Structures are given as structure tokens and as C-alpha cells.
């Protein structure tokens, strides 16, 4: 026996409405996008999806599920809350009921400590329902409030598969990771048409809010993918590096040998002016194929990402000498600070790989606030209670040495490769700073060169690695081939760490 929907004037039954909501609308206008329920099938374990609010709006406007699917499913057996916008229903826009559905699933995630995965594809709020979604206690502001309340308590991962417009653009911004699909995904507070009316500026959607721009310029996106399926698969993989909540530690898996097991001579060149790729070092530390880089296309003078070391999840923060000599700029300071807070929120030990000439200097970066941004990095690093380990690969100069977890910030250990040098600045720069007037006064070129060479030798002796070990600046000097084994032992020794009792747990700060 079937029953009519309350208020229905068409005679449609609950069963009819349910079937219509499950069928959704025609996605054929968007051939490069997966239908929303196909997206869920890629994301979740088969048969695990339990949906709420399927009949939302069925008795009013007849919009299938009111344009958003909410519920709980499983990823590798782990329960996760899901919000998935249906781009075929009023472009996935938010009305009163779609806001209510999103609020309810986020409240459940907050109550039950469930990770949240967002499949975002929304044109923003429905202007014909603005009193429903905009000003009240159960509108869009409540969604954002819950996202911030969840931050640092449970992982929040976003696959941005279409637009995320106007105020709705903040939904991805409050998550821990945003994977964007090239050509479809966009994030913007106002469309190019509105921007032109307000500012007179003419632009394109891709230039102003496209995937590549956000992943390489603004830093709002973490990675760019070619298809919906690739972005969703990456979110599934990333979740395997994260615990269910701040109360847990990430699950370990059986360890694997590194993909690269030998250290060629000169992999880390002794000459501080010679470039190399720090990813080649990371590949020799982490288990084969396990490095998951975060924000790989943004602020590339800094590398951040998760890897497994003998099966255990570790966060890596590394200077990249092949990009701008590995100096720390405004964006790279923000990138590292955010990643550190993410690792600390979810109990992931940190390894800092130092090869840093310092913070960038000059008029431009001072005006951008390099001191303020550098302070954010230092604060995040110093506040992290997870076990921290520092490895000086080569140069460790100036305040960059501090920001990358110098001994004064209490890492569990400061290790150094034989190529390491620690000092306020490079010997040549130090000599030129100390003796500038005297050097300028020496007229004979050979005499001047001899004077500089002798003073540089004195500075190099002052920064000698043997002295650093003798004075307990470094805890151990490790041969490159032994670095992975050294870190495995030290990570194991720190595995029983606990937080300071009563410490307030923190959110994950936006960039």
C-alpha cells in the first residue's frame, strides 16, 4: 500500500517521490562530470551508503533530494560523513532544506567524531530562497560554524568537482585538503561578470578562480586532477594517512623498503650553491610509493607531505634547494605552518629536512609581511606537541634554521648529514658583512682575494660540523645511507608520547 505525500496535489506517492529522487535529473549536459551517485560509488565501499533526507523538497518544489546528498558511508571500512552536491538540481545551489541537510550531517559528524568528505559542485545560494539559506540560525553561516568546530577534531577532505561560488566558496576553504578537477572546478566570491560590474576588471573564470590558479597561485587548492574519479581516489588515499579523530593516531601498515635504497655520491652536494631535488632524499627515507605531497604546485620552495616510515605515518617539512635555493618566502611560511598544525591536530610526528639559506629578504617581501608570516611558521612549529625530528641536510642559516625546528625548539633529536653547515649566514656573506669597509680599502686585487679567503676559512672553522657535535648542537652525525634506519629507531622510541594534560586542542588554521 502506498501513501500520498502530505500537501501533494499531483497524487504522487512516497514511493514515486523516492524513485524520482534516486533517479535525479539528466546529467548528460555535463559529459565530463560523473553523476552524483556515481561519485559516491567511487568514494565509498560498496553497499555502505546510508542516506538521510532523500525526500527533502519532494512535497514542495519537487527538487530531487533538494540538490544535495547527505549521509554516512564507509571508506576501507571506516565510517565517514558525506556531503555531495547534485549539480543537475539547480546547479547544486543551496536553499533552506539543503542547508538543513548539510547542517544535520555536520552535527552528526561533530557528535560521533566522523571524518567528513565533501563532494562540492554548487553555484552557491538560491537567490529566490535567500530568506531560507542566508540570514537565520540554520542557514549557511551555521554550516561554516560547524566546519570550524570540526576543524582539528576530525579530518575534513574536499573534492571540488565543479563551482564553489560566492559565500559557498568558503566550504572548501574550511577543509583540510582540496582536490580540484581541471576545467570543471572553480572557487570564487563573485563571477567574472559581477567582478566587472563592481571593479571594471575583465577576466575569465579560469584566470580568476580555476583549478590551476588556486593550486599554484592562491594556495586555496591542494592538487589538480584530470577527472572526478582521480580526485575522489586521492581523497580516499589521503584518508588512509589520517586518524578518525584527534583522539586517535593514524593506523600503521606493514612497512616496505624505500623505492630508492642507495645514496649516490653527491646526491646532497657538498657545495651549498649547487642545486638538487629534496624529493630524491625523501624517496630514500619513506616506504616505497608512500609519499603523498600536499600543495605540490604552490610555494614550491617548500615541500610538505605525508609518508610512511616502516609503516608509520610521518609528516615531512622540507626546504627545496632546486627552487629559489630553498629560501622561505611568505607563501612557503604559510604552507609549512598550515601543514604543521594539521599534523599536530591528528597526532602525526614531524620530520624537518633543513637546507635553508634563511628567509627571503628585500623590499617586496618586507611589504608582504615576511616577519608576520614567518612568526606564524615559528609559532606553529613551536606549538606542535607531536614528536619532532630535525635533519640538517646541508645549509642551515639565519632565522630559517630556527623556523625549521632548531634545537632551541626542543625537537626529539637534531641530526646532521656530513654535508651540514649551521650558522647565522654563509661564510662568504658573513665575511663581507663583518669586513666590508676593510675589504673596500684593499686596493690590490690579489691581496683583497687573499684577505677574503683567510677570513672565510676562519668562518668555516667556526661552523665546523665536528664542533657542532662536540658542543651538543647536533645529537648525531649520520651517514646518508643510515638516515632512514636512524629515524625508524628514533620514531619508535617516541611512539609512547602523550600531550600535555589539559591542553586545548586546536583547529587547523587556514593558509
Reported as a single tens digit per residue, the pLDDT across 159-197 is 999 999 888 899 999 999 999 999 999 999 888 888 888
Q: Using one digit for the tens of pLDDT, what is the confidence trace for 461-484?
A: 777 888 888 899 999 999 999 999
- Architecture of domain 12-240 in CATH? Alpha-Beta Complex (3.90)
**284: which residues sit within 8 A by CB, 6+ positions away?**
258, 260, 261, 263, 267, 480, 483, 484
Which band of pLDDT confidence, cut at 50, 70 and 90, is reported for residue 85?
A: very high
Strand, coil or helix: what is 305?
strand
Strands in 166-207 per DSSP E:
177-181, 186-188
Mean pLDDT of 336-345: 97
Q: Of 99-108, 169-178, 223-232, 501-510, which range is least confident?
A: 501-510
Strand, coil or helix: what is 218?
helix
CATH superfamily, domain at 278-420+474-494: 2-enoyl-CoA Hydratase; Chain A, domain 1 (3.90.226.10)
**210: which residues sit within 8 A by CB, 6+ positions away?**
182, 185, 186, 204
Mean pLDDT of 413-439: 85
Q: Is the dihedral of CA 346, 317, 259, 419 positive or negative?
A: negative
| pLDDT value for 10 | 58
Share of the chain above pLDDT 70, in %: 97
Q: What is the DSSP letter of 358?
A: -
Q: What are 438's three cell numbers? A: 676593510
Length of the chain in terms of residues written: 511
Which band of pLDDT confidence, cut at 50, 70 and 90, is reported for residue 444?
A: confident
- Say if CB 54 and CB 2 are below 8 A apart: no
Q: What are 76's three cell numbers? A: 576501507
pLDDT greater at residue 447 or residue 42: 42
- The mean pLDDT value of the chain amounts to 92
Amino acid at each position: 500500500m502506498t501513501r500520498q505525500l502530505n500537501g501533494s496535489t499531483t497524487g504522487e506517492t512516497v514511493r514515486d517521490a523516492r524513485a524520482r529522487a534516486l533517479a535525479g535529473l539528466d546529467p548528460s549536459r555535463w559529459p565530463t562530470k560523473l553523476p552524483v551517485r556515481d561519485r559516491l560509488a567511487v568514494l565509498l565501499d560498496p553497499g555502505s551508503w546510508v542516506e538521510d533526507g532523500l525526500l527533502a523538497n519532494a512535497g514542495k518544489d519537487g527538487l530531487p533530494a533538494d540538490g544535495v546528498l547527505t549521509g554516512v558511508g564507509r571508506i576501507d571500512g571506516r565510517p565517514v560523513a558525506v556531503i555531495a552536491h547534485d549539480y543537475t538540481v539547480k546547479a547544486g545551489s543551496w536553499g533552506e532544506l539543503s542547508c538543513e541537510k548539510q547542517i544535520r550531517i555536520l552535527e552528526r559528524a561533530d557528535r560521533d567524531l566522523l571524518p567528513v568528505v565533501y563532494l562540492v559542485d554548487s553555484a552557491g545560494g538560491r537567490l529566490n530562497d535567500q530568506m531560507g539559506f542566508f540570514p537565520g540560525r540554520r542557514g549557511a553561516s551555521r554550516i561554516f560554524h560547524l566546519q570550524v568546530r570540526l576543524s582539528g577534531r576530525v579530518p575534513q577532505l574536499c573534492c571540488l568537482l565543479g563551482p564553489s561560488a560566492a559565500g559557498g566558496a568558503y566550504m572548501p576553504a574550511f577543509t583540510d585538503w582540496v582536490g580540484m578537477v581541471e576545467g570543471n572546478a572553480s572557487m570564487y566570491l563573485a563571477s567574472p561578470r559581477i567582478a566587472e560590474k563592481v571593479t571594471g576588471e575583465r577576466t575569465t573564470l579560469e584566470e580568476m578562480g580555476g583549478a590551476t590558479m588556486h593550486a599554484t597561485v592562491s594556495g586555496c587548492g591542494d592538487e589538480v586532477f584530470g577527472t572526478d574519479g582521480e580526485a575522489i581516489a586521492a581523497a580516499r588515499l589521503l584518508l588512509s594517512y589520517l586518524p578518525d579523530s584527534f583522539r586517535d593516531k593514524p593506523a600503521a601498515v606493514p612497512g616496505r623498503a624505500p623505492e630508492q635504497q642507495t645514496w649516490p655520491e653527491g646526491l646532497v652536494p657538498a657545495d651549498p650553491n649547487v642545486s638538487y631535488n629534496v624529493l630524491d632524499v625523501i624517496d630514500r627515507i619513506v616506504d616505497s610509493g608512500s609519499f603523498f605531497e600536499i600543495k605540490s604546485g604552490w610555494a614550491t620552495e617548500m615541500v610538505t607531505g605525508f609518508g610512511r616510515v616502516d609503516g608509520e605515518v610521518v609528516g615531512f617539512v622540507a626546504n627545496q634547494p632546486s627552487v629559489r635555493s630553498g629560501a622561505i618566502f611568505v607563501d612557503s611560511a604559510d604552507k609549512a605552518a598550515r601543514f604543521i598544525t594539521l599534523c599536530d591536530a591528528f597526532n602525526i610526528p614531524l620530520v624537518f629536512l633543513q637546507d635553508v639559506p634563511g628567509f627571503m629578504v628585500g623590499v617586496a617581501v618586507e611589504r608582504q609581511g615576511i616577519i608576520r608570516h614567518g612568526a606564524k611558521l615559528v609559532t606553529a612549529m613551536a606549538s606542535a606537541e607531536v614528536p619532532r625530528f630535525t635533519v640538517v641536510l646541508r645549509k642551515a642559516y639565519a632565522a630559517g634554521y630556527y623556523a625549521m625546528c632548531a634545537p632551541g625548539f626542543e625537537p626529539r633529536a637534531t641530526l646532521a648529514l656530513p654535508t651540514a653547515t649551521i650558522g647565522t649566514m654563509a661564510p662568504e656573506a658573513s665575511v663581507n658583512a663583518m669586513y666590508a669597509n676593510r675589504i673596500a680599502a684593499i686596493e690590490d686585487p690579489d691581496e683583497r682575494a687573499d684577505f677574503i679567503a683567510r677570513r672565510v676559512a676562519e668562518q668555516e672553522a667556526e661552523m665546523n660540523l665536528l664542533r657542532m657535535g662536540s658542543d651538543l648542537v647536533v645529537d648525531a652525525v649520520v651517514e646518508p645511507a643510515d638516515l632512514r634506519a636512524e629515524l625508524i629507531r628514533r620514531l619508535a622510541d617516541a611512539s609512547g608520547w602523550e600531550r600535555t594534560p589539559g591542553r586545548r586542542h586546536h583547529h587547523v588554521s587556514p593558509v
